[in-house]
Amino acid sequence: MKIAKLIREKAKEYRDYTTECLSEMVKIPSVSCAEEQVVLKIKELLEKAGVKDVHIDGLGNLIARVGRGPKILAIDAHIDTVDTGDESQWELTPFSGLIKEGYVHGRGAVDQEGGAASMVTAARILTELNYDGDYSIYFTFTVMEEDCDGMCWEYLINEEKLVPDFALITEPTNLGLYRGHRGRMEVELYFKGLSAHGSAPERGENVIYSGARVALEIEKLNRRLKTDEFLGKGTITPTLFRTASPSLCAIPDQAWMHIDRRLTWGETKESAVGELAQFCGDDVRIEVPEYDNPSYKGRVYKIEKYFPTWKIPEDHPLVQAGVRTHQQLFGAAPRIDKWTFSTNGVSICGRHGIPCIGFGPGNEVYAHAPNEKVPVDHLEKAAAFYALLPWILEL
C-alpha cells in the first residue's frame, strides 16, 4: 500500500523531531489541574507543524483538527501526570527529558506524553499529505485524567459537542492493540459510633471495631467477585481508614474508609454498592463521591467517581482496522489485549458507547513508577500508526 510506505518513511524522517517534542513536554511539570504550561507548549508545537485548526476549550483541553470529512475520528492523549513520589528512587531527575541510549526519560514519558508527542508528529504528517478523506481527525490533548479519568471527555462530549464515530486512545500498550479494560469506582464508608472515656470502653461503640469487621467482610467479598474471560476478575480493597474522637483517651465515634473497586464485565455501580450494603449496618453510610476540583482554567465540572467498564469485540470494524494498520506498517498482526488500569475510555466507550481502541508507546509497568522511560522506536511507530489509521478506516 503506497500511502503506508510513505507514512512509514515520514515517521522515520521525523523520528528525532518526535523525540525532541516529547523531551520538551517532559521538562514541564504537569500534574493534574496544573497543565497550562505543557498545553501551551503542545499548542506551539502543533502550530509550528503547520496544523491550522488548534484551540483550547473552556476546561483546558487542547484540540487540533486535521481534515474536514463528515465522520469523526478522535485520537486522545491525556497530558497531565502524577507527581514524582520519592525522588531519591529516581536515577535521573524526574523532569530531565533526557534522550539517552534509545529512550526518553522522565515523568510522563510513558503515562502518557509519549502518545501525545507521536500525535503531534501524526498531525504534521497528515497536514503535509493534505489529508482530505472521510474523517475529520481530532487530536485531543486532555487534562485531569489522573485525577478523574474520563471527566475531560464528559466535558468534550457534553459541552464542546465533540462526539466521535471512533476513538483511539494513546495510553501505553507496548505497541499492542487494546480493546477494553475494567471499570472502577471509588466508594466511601462513613461509620458512626458512640464516644466514651477510654477507661470504660464498654460504655461506647468503637468505630475501629465496626470498621475492622467491615474490612474483613470486604476481604472475603474480594475473593468471590465475578470474573470475565477477557477483562479478568473484579476487585475491591480498602485503601484508607481514618477515625475521629474527642481525645486520645476517648472511644472514637466517627470513621471514614475509602475503597478502591475495580469492575469487570457485568458489574455496575448499583451491583457494587448492593454488595457492600449486605454487610454494612444501618450505622454505616455508603457514598460514591463526586469529583469537583477546578481545572487550571478555574472550571469546575462535577462528575460522580464511577467509571464504567468497557470493551469492544475483536471482530469490531475498528479493531480490525487497527489490525490492518499494524500489518501494513510493520508486516505482522499486533498483540490484542487490554489495559490493567483505567483510561479516558470509561467515558468515551463506557458512558457513551463510542467504540475505542488503544495503541500507545511505552510499557505500562512504568506508569506511576520511578525511572519512567519510553523507547524512541515506539514513538516513531506510534506516529506512523496514528497517521495511517484514517486511511485504513476508509477501506
pLDDT in tens, 45-76: 999 999 999 999 999 999 999 999 999 999 99
Q: Residue 76: beta bridge partners?
A: 140, 169
Looking at residue 295, what is its pLDDT? 98
Looking at residue 37, what is its pLDDT? 98
Quickly list DSSP for 235-256.
Answer: EEEEEEEEEE-SSTTB---EEE
Per the residue annotation, which of 35, 57, 76, 80 is the catalytic one? 80
Contact (Cβ atoms closer than 8 angstroms) between residue 18 and residue 118: yes
The yes-or-no answer on residue 80 being catalytic is yes
| Whole-prediction pTM | 0.96
- The span from the CA of 81 to the CA of 32, in Å, is 6
Looking at residue 278, what is its pLDDT? 96
- Structural domains in the chain plus CATH codes: 2-182+309-393 (3.40.630.10), 183-291 (3.30.70.360)
Whose cell is 524526574? That residue is 94
**Which of helix, strand or coil describes residue 171?**
coil
Give every CB contact of residue 33 below 8 A, 6+ residues apart in sequence. Answer: 80, 143, 144, 147, 293, 294, 295, 296
The yes-or-no answer on residue 53 being catalytic is no
Distances (CA, A) of 289 to 32, 237, 286, 327: 18, 16, 10, 44
Per the residue annotation, which of 76, 145, 253, 372 is the catalytic one? 145
Q: How many CA atoms lie within 13 A of 30 on its CB side?
A: 30
Looking at residue 254, what is its pLDDT? 97
Looking at residue 282, what is its pLDDT? 87
Looking at residue 322, what is its pLDDT? 98
Looking at residue 1, what is its pLDDT? 85
Instruction: Point out the residues of the chain with pLDDT beneath 70.
Output: none
- The span from the CA of 185 to the CA of 306, in Å, is 4
